[in-house]
């Protein structure tokens, strides 16, 4: 059996929606863009949504739109996908990493406060693997210190914390629609915010710095081409309409895994969220005990048709972070320990119970063989 690490869930409805766009005259900046933005704003409960061509673009526009620039410090997590701190480097701001909580794998709020300096402009929290960060604590700290809170919720569309959507706790949040996310646009992302000025700045910057006058060759500010085309918007819109069904199926897959792996020695299943949290499952990541050689487990899995990956290598140990900011091994021991033990198993909306069973069998064999 071959089981992919991830796979999009595209139905006839999505295919028809994209074909409809191709038959229309609008391939960019048309009705699907505004329809998608309205739908995602309404779903998240944010006042404004600005759709762009990737989650990374969304984060970049938030950082730039907030005026975060050279020398400004932003506190963030080293255990994430690299884009969550690259967006700071794009603007010559300084990512100041602090370590994570060993259970939730999210930024540890108690470590944030001591990293705040007079140059700190914001905390950029990431809802890692779909689990919302500790927003009670983060909102309290950032409010008390009068700094901004930005949310990279690119892995957490539909997750809630105390009933409130991930992405809506700070000044702005980002969602992403790459094919491995809960829903996809092919490529795509969105900025959500209640701040009208920030939304207007993002809207202008995604479209070459144009203003609202409609004059195609009038550029008010430095902008980019971060536009999301109409085919992608139509695809994302059709996917968003199926989001509840998609999230339900993903929860079921996670439950199959949990039931099958709970009690298996040498494997820790993902953090079970507290009652305060509803998780939108993005990936299914287990942690292996130190007695198991992870590299051998990964090779065995991949050699038996079970696509698996080590999510995430610590950002601070990527070569350009080491050379640019002087980070080194040992700087964030929890992150490094966690990162050395994780295995992302195949996880996607249409995954069947048989596929889960096969993955777990192969994982069990792999662990036996890889015991030190």
Query: Is residue 55 involved in binding ligand PLP (CB under 6 A)?
Result: yes
Site for ligand PLP in 179-198 (CB under 6 A): 189
Mask of contacts with ligand PLP, 138-177, x by CB under 6 A? --------------x-xx--------------------x-
Closest separation in Å from C-beta 197 to ligand PLP:
24
Which one among 54, 85, 106, 232 touches ligand PLP, defined by CB under 6 A? 54
Nearer to ligand PLP, 53 or 160 (CB): 53
Which residues neighbour 168 within 8 Å (Cβ) at sequence distance 6 or greater? 44, 45, 46, 151, 192, 194
Nearer to ligand PLP, 46 or 185 (CB): 185
- Select from 54-62, 88-96, 103-111, 158-166 the region that touches ligand PLP (CB under 6 A): 54-62
Closest CA to 185 of 237, 247, 243: 237
Which residues neighbour 259 within 8 Å (Cβ) at sequence distance 6 or greater? none
Q: Which residue is closest to ligand PLP by CB?
A: 55
- Select from 64-72, 77-85, 208-216, 350-358 the region that touches ligand PLP (CB under 6 A): 77-85
Strand runs labelled E in the chain: 48-52, 73-76, 94-97, 120-126, 148-152, 160-161, 164-165, 172-176, 189-193, 267-268, 277-278, 284-288, 342-345
Q: What count of other Cβ atoms lies within 10 Å of the Cβ of residue 313? A: 16
Closest CA to 255 of 353, 327, 355, 120: 353
Hey, is 3 helix, strand or coil?
strand
Nearer to ligand PLP, 124 or 366 (CB): 124
Please state, in angstroms and as integers, the Cα–Cα distance from residue 226 to each residue in 57, 92, 154, 223, 292, following that order.
7, 19, 17, 9, 44
Site for ligand PLP in 255-284 (CB under 6 A): none
Would you tell me which residues interact with ligand PLP (CB under 6 A)?
54-56, 80-81, 83-84, 126, 152, 154-155, 176, 178, 189
């Amino acid at each position: 059996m071959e089981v992919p690490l991830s796979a999009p869930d595209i139905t006839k409805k999505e295919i028809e929606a994209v074909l409809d766009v191709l038959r229309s005259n609008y391939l960019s900046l048309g009705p699907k863009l505004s329809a998608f933005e309205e739908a995602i704003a309404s779903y998240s409960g944010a006042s404004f949504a600005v759709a762009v061509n990737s989650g990374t673009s969304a984060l970049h526009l938030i950082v730039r739109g907030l005026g975060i620039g050279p020398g400004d410090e932003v506190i963030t997590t080293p255990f994430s996908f690299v884009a969550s701190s690259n967006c700071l480097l794009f603007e010559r701001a300084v990512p100041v990493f602090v370590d994570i909580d060993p259970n939730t794998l999210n930024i540890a709020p108690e470590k944030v406060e001591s990293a705040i300096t007079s140059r700190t402009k914001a905390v950029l929290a990431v809802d890692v693997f779909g689990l919302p960060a500790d927003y009670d604590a983060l909102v309290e700290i950032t409010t008390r210190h009068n700094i901004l809170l930005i949310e990279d919720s690119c892995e957490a569309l539909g997750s809630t914390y105390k009933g409130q959507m991930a992405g809506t706790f700070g000044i702005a949040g980002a969602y992403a629609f790459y094919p491995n996310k809960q829903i996809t646009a092919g490529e795509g992302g969105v900025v959500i915010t209640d701040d009208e000025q920030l939304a207007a700045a993002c809207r202008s910057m995604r479209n070459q710095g144009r203003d609202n006058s409609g004059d195609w060759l009038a550029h008010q500010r430095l902008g980019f081409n971060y536009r999301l085309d109409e085919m992608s918007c139509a695809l994302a819109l059709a996917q968003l309409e199926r989001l509840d069904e998609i999230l339900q199926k993903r929860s079921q897959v996670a439950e199959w895994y949990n039931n099958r792996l709970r009690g298996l020695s040498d494997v820790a299943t993902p953090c079970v969220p507290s009652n305060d949290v509803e998780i939108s499952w993005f990936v299914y990541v287990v942690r292996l005990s130190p007695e198991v050689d992870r590299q051998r487990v990964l090779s065995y899995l991949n050699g038996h048709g079970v696509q698996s990956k080590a999510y995430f290598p610590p950002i601070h140990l990527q070569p350009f972070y080491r050379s640019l900011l002087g980070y080194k091994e040992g700087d964030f021991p929890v992150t490094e320990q966690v990162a050395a033990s994780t295995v992302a198993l195949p996880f996607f909306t249409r995954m069947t119970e048989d596929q889960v069973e096969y993955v777990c069998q192969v994982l069990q064999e792999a662990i036996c063989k890889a015991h030190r």
